[in-house]
Amino acid sequence: MSDGAASMLDSIRGEVRSWLEAQWDPQQPLGEWWSKLAQSGWGFPDFPERWFGKGLPSESRRIVRQELQRVGAFGPPHGIATMMVAPLLVEMGTDEQRQQWLPGIVDGSEIWCQLFSEPDAGSDLAGARTNAVRDGDVWRVNGQKVWTSGGHYAKWAILVARTDQSAPKHSGLSFFGIDMRQDGIQPKPLVQMNGSAEFNEVFIDDATTVHTNLIGEEGKGWPVALRTLSYERESLDADAEPGIQTDLDLTIAAGLYASGEIPDGSEGFMPGGLEAWELLCSVIVANGKQTDPRIRDRAAQLYTGIKTSSWMSQRFAQAPEVGAEVSLGKLAATQLMRDWRDLALTALGPHGQLLGGENTFDGLPAQIALSVPGLSIAGGTDEIQRNIVGERVLGLPREPRPNGG
């Protein structure tokens, strides 16, 4: 990093530190705190100043997160809306769409979900069959989606639907924002093996969305979907914000969430970056494995992987434009998650099967172990990510597609 870049980052750190020391009050309601973060621009500092940011480089988010942790403050809203929808709107939305949706996203008052995958169109998203037919200024939507995180409490959704049945499958899709709280949309939670029911199958029966909710051009939803998925994969790397917050009570004191006294819904997901390392060290020490040479060797390898993945994320954040390379971050993260799981369960021994008891850390390692396989599927399977890296980054021959798609 150049001296000029380092000086700029130090300046950002000093500015956000001063702001947080003056503004953070653990007694203020969460909604009030999130609104304050949004209006200040420090919630999402890399957004344009016009759209609730400060126009700073992506690296500024990491600095803000570190300073929030330093003072014990609760971070900004974190979920599909902030990871995927907001950056997409900033880049590809209309001013009308930004004005309509960004305020509720950045202050956490409106939660979003993602209506992409279908029973017969998972990794092959372009095979989606949910259709949208235009009726004047309204689109009527029918079909079924699945694996929709937060669909049972989300207010809005981003939707990929087929708008031209006669076009090749990649060319007949459009991308919409749609109101989830209408009679034509019925989410049904799916219970996972870790006991949570964050995912849903969603039945869509003559639901509607107005034409102004079309993001991008009609019939050109595939590039919009790909761009959205690139944001998702960035959010799944090992240096990203951990977990996805659920539907939080905005009237509760923000400090109760910051302290962990009231969970924010992130516990069922793999902790990110150095937080994962600290938890693993605690597990190893509590179970008397810190002198085991095999455990120490595997722990050193994992730590190296975490630091390398963090460095890679920083490089991506500094790049003027990031494309298929984000798949490398996602692949690195899911491998680190598997390594973390295997080492934690080795240290725990038989106790790794328990969701409670002495030295089990309230069953968090076991909960994570049950969640890790799903994270290799979320955001596009690891197999799909390897194809993306091979074809778009390394320039290898393209994998054969079914039906020539």
pLDDT classification of 323: cutoffs 50, 70, 90: low
Q: pLDDT per residue over 332-387, tens digit each?
A: 888 888 999 999 999 999 988 888 888 788 888 888 888 888 878 877 788 888 88
pLDDT classification of 268: cutoffs 50, 70, 90: very low
Tell me which residue of 234, 231, 225 sits closest to 128, measured CA to CA: 225
Q: CA end-to-end span of the chain, whole Å? A: 43
Cβ neighbours, 10 Å, residue 49: 11
How far apart (Å, rounded) are the C-alpha atoms in residues 52 and 225? 24
Evaluate whether 395 touches 292 at the Cβ level (below 8 Å): no
- Better pLDDT: 341 or 242: 341
Domain ranges of the chain: 1-76, 112-233, 268-404
User: What percentage of the chain carries pLDDT values higher than 70?
Assistant: 88
How far apart (Å, rounded) are the C-alpha atoms in residues 198 and 192? 8
| Residue 228 buriedness (CB in 10 A; 0-12 / 13-18 / 19+) | buried
Say if residue 119's pLDDT is above 50.
yes
pLDDT value at residue 132: 98
Say if residue 266's pLDDT is above 90.
no
pLDDT value at residue 312: 61
The residues that bridge with 179 in the sheet, in sequence order, are 156
Evaluate whether 98 touches 89 at the Cβ level (below 8 Å): yes
One fold for 112-233 and 268-404 = no
Q: Please compute the mean of the pLDDT values over residues 227-253 and round it to a whole number.
A: 74
Say if residue 271's pLDDT is above 50.
no
Q: pLDDT per residue over 51-81, tens digit each?
A: 999 999 888 988 999 999 999 999 999 999 9
pLDDT classification of 194: cutoffs 50, 70, 90: confident
Q: Please compute the mean of the pLDDT values over residues 172-182 and round it to a whole number.
A: 97
pTM: 0.80
Radius of gyration (Cα) for the chain, nearest Å?
Answer: 22
- The mean-pLDDT minimum among 122-126, 151-155, 389-393 falls in 122-126
pLDDT classification of 47: cutoffs 50, 70, 90: very high
Q: Does domain 112-233 have CATH number 1.10.3720.10?
A: no
- The mean-pLDDT minimum among 20-34, 59-73, 265-279, 296-310 falls in 265-279
Q: Please compute the mean of the pLDDT values over residues 301-322 and round it to a whole number.
A: 68
Query: In sequence order, which residues have a C-beta less than 8 Å from that of residue 135 and are 6 or more positions away?
Result: none
Say if residue 320's pLDDT is above 60.
no
CA atoms within 13 A on the CB side of 390: 10
Q: Does domain 268-404 have CATH number 3.40.50.920?
A: no
Q: Please compute the mean of the pLDDT values over residues 185-205 and round it to a whole number.
A: 89
How far apart (Å, rounded) are the C-alpha atoms in residues 98 and 194? 36
